Amino acid sequence: MDKKLTKNTAGTIQTLANDFFTGVYKVYNFTLLAVKEAFLPPYEWREIVRQCYEVGCKTLPLISLTGFITGIVFTKQSRPSLSEFGATSWLPSLVSIAVIRALAPLVTSLIMAGKVGSSIGAELGSMRVSEQIDAMEITATNPFKFLVVSRVLACALMLPLLVLYSGAVSLLGSYINIHSNELISYRAFLEDAFSKISFLDLFSSFIKSAFYGFTIGITSCYKGYNSAKGTVGVGSAANQAVVYSMVAVFLEETVVVQFINSFLR
């Protein structure tokens, strides 16, 4: 009995391992194809612009609210600790460093993964279920370039811009909170905020945001494009697009932080 149980357990582990590595291989091929198609004509400029509008402009209200609240809350939470050492004058520098280096890219990426990722996964999943993708192949249209590449490029292009906007809104919220307590001028706030920010901080934030956007786009498109049949498959694709995108962003953030810290040393 024990030998049979051990054999079944080993078989289950082997099956899970095979499924995992098969999935990794499929994602790898999917990503390579997306990168290849992005550089080959014809280019779907109109669809790329439309997706940029869907990804960027329609996300601005949520990004504005979240960024503003993030700046206020982080400032309020940091003030008591700095007040104990009489260092409340460091608040602008502290907030700007936290926002530019970590909070703005991470929070904005998570919002995009939740809002845009679920939308892409559900949209492509429903098109797969209703056989619209198959119909596009019959009409000599490249559905992969039109549906996948355009969305991945839109996510990679728009997320860095959204991160810059989110950082600016967060600093605005921080300034309002600091001004209401310390009566600091806007000019003095900006001077203190950007005195500790280097070009490397801005550059790394911009670049990693582009990678986060690419990851969110690839993950969401992969789940939607390869959705299972039926309405259950569409819901599962949308849910997995959000979860896997967020996990991938957290993993990338960990790697990027370690790389930047080692580079600064």
Q: How many CB atoms lie within 10 A of CB 208?
A: 25
**Residue 2 clears pLDDT 60, i.e. is over it:** no
Percent of the chain with pLDDT over 90: 44
52 vs 225: CA distance, rounded Å: 19
Question: Which residues fall within 8 angstroms of residue 129, CB to CB, at 6 or more apart?
Answer: 227, 229, 230, 231, 233, 234
Q: Which position has the higher pLDDT, 228 or 264?
A: 228
The tens digit of pLDDT for each residue in 38-65 reads: 888 888 899 999 999 999 888 999 999 9
Residue 105 φ/ψ, nearest 5 degrees: -60, -40
**pTM, to two decimals:** 0.89
Number of continuous H segments (helices) and E segments (strands) in the chain = 12, 0
pLDDT at 5 over 60: no
Q: Given this model, what pLDDT does residue 4 score?
A: 54
Q: What is the pLDDT of residue 246?
A: 93
- Quick check: 128 pLDDT over 70? yes
Structure tokens at 134: 């198959």
Q: Which two tokens stand for residue 105?
A: 């890219």
- Residue range 165-208, pLDDT digits in tens: 999 999 999 999 988 888 888 888 888 888 888 888 888 888 89
37, two tokens = 């198609």
Q: Which two tokens stand for residue 244?
A: 């896997």
Q: What is the pLDDT of residue 9?
A: 65
Is the pLDDT at 70 greater than 90? The verdict is yes
> Each residue of 132-158: pLDDT tens digit?
888 887 777 788 999 999 999 999 999
Contact of 119 with 51, CB cutoff 8 Å: no
Whose tokens are 């989110």? That residue is: 166
Q: Is 196 helix (H, G, I), strand (E, B) or coil?
A: coil
